Amino acid sequence: MNNQLTQNQYNSLIINSFVGIGILSLAYETSKVAKQDAWISVLISGVIPLLILFNSSYLHKKHGNMTFTNSLINIYGKFLGNVVIILFILNSILVQFITLSTYVEIVKYTIVDFLPNWLIAVSVILTTILTSYNGISGLGRFTEINTPFILIIFFIPLIYITKGSFSNISPIATNMINILYATPNAMLAYQGGENAYFFQPYISKEKELFLENIKCLLLLMFIYTVVVFVTIYYLGYELTSKYKYSLLFLVKLVELPILSDLRSTFLLIWSSSILITLAINHYTFSNMLENIFTLNRKRTYIINYIIIISLYLTSESNRAITMFIYDTLFPIVFFSILFISTLSTIILIFKKEDKYHARQ
């Protein structure tokens, strides 16, 4: 049972594969270029994960419950298949590093400024290992329980829907070039769709998979668009583009009679989303490492821990590493995965069904 997911658990994992660090700075990143039309850029950016989710659904349709690593070897052969797997391993490492380093930065600034960065990082990674230790089924149950709370907190900005100014979002769609040019800035927030490849084979009673993926993505696009729209609607794009974590700034302004410090509550619930994001990528890393190097699960956990902590500590003493990963390496890996994902679908469309699938 440790390798089984319900459809709802799968949907929760997909949603949490996306929701993480990116949503806090999404309005900031896009408004720098698209200004008051940043929310339109966010909406358009949903095309990228849509393509990846379509490709993953098509692969599952063709290969059934074959694991993702075996599917890649089936498509590309052992050598090229392993090269592609290494690319996905690198992606898992980069996502964990970016998520961890940004999370430590935010937590250090807002909640536990008295703790050293390395202690926060080590604590988070150890908690991540414990979260994913019980396999995909345990991770799925934990994610299913937390997802409703995670989604609810991102609707907090709607409190300001009646307090903003229409002049902050007008004129609308006046510069389509800037709107399109800002779409790559939403990349980090929309990263995560590739995890569908790893989870699909474990769904016990699946529905129409692509439709389920679409539902998850539409919900995500709606949340992202609302968050960015309301942030700019209330703050204006000039102020939004000055605060990197503009969503946190907006939440800090909210005053509710039942909560004296809404930002701390927001950060507490959001932290569970970060934990899940890290656990998901930790799981995919371990899963691929097991298959390509035939290692046991415990060894892959240790390797993952050593790599992420070493990379984080090294980046702390040399910020150039962090900037290189953020600005250069991660975008290259992200679009390489998008290319490989699309190429795999094209190959499957023209590839004759092999003997293995003829027997299914």
Q: What is the pLDDT of residues 220-251, one digit of tens each?
A: 999 999 999 999 998 899 999 988 888 888 88
Give bridge partners of residue 185 from the DSSP assignment: none
* Predicted confidence (pLDDT) at residue 164 exceeds the cutoff of 50: yes
Q: Tokens 């090229």, residue?
A: 80
pLDDT at residue 75 in the model: 93
Q: Is the pLDDT of residue 258 over 70?
A: no
CATH class of 7-358: mainly alpha
Give the per-residue pLDDT at 108: 85
Top-confidence residue, 139 or 162: 139
Burial label, 1 (beta-carbon count in 10 A; 0-12, 13-18, 19+): exposed
pLDDT band at 355 (very low <50, low <70, confident <90, very high): very low
Nearest to 188 by CA among 283, 124, 94, 311: 94
Task: Compute the distance between CA of residue 330 and CA of residue 188 in angstroms, rounded to an integer.
Answer: 9
Alpha helices in the chain (DSSP H): 7-18, 22-34, 38-44, 47-63, 68-110, 117-132, 135-153, 176-181, 196-199, 209-235, 237-240, 246-253, 262-293, 297-317, 319-324, 330-350, 355-358
pLDDT band per the 50, 70, 90 thresholds, residue 354: low
Q: Is the pTM of this model over 0.85?
A: yes
Q: How would residue 157 be classed by pLDDT, with cut points 50, 70 and 90?
A: confident
Q: What is the mean pLDDT of the chain?
A: 87
For residue 353, give the DSSP letter. P
Dihedrals φ, ψ of 46, to 5°? -65, -15
Q: Report residue 356's pLDDT band, with 50, 70 and 90 as the boundaries.
A: very low
- Structure confidence at residue 173 as a pLDDT band (50, 70, 90): confident
Is the per-residue pLDDT at 300 higher than 70? yes
pLDDT per residue as tens digits for the range 317-349: 888 888 899 889 999 999 999 999 999 999 999
> Which two three-digit tokens encode residue 208?
């129409």
Contact 174, 307 (CB under 8 A): no
Residue 339: is it exposed, middle or buried by C-beta count within 10 angstroms (0-12/13-18/19+)? exposed
Point out which residues pair with 256 in neighbouring strands.
259
Mean pLDDT calculated for residue range 137-141: 89
Given a cut of 80, is residue 40 above it in pLDDT?
yes
- pLDDT score of 257: 62
Averaged pLDDT for residues 260-272: 79
In the structure, what pLDDT confidence band is assigned to residue 1 with cuts at 50, 70 and 90? very low
Q: In angstroms, what CA-CA distances link 187 with 30, 33, 159, 192, 358? A: 10, 14, 27, 10, 39
What tokens does 54 get? 């379509």
Question: What average pLDDT does range 180-206 have in this prediction?
Answer: 86
Looking at residue 353, its pLDDT comes to 59
Q: Which residue has the higher pLDDT, 343 or 4?
A: 343
- Residues 157-163 have a mean pLDDT of 76
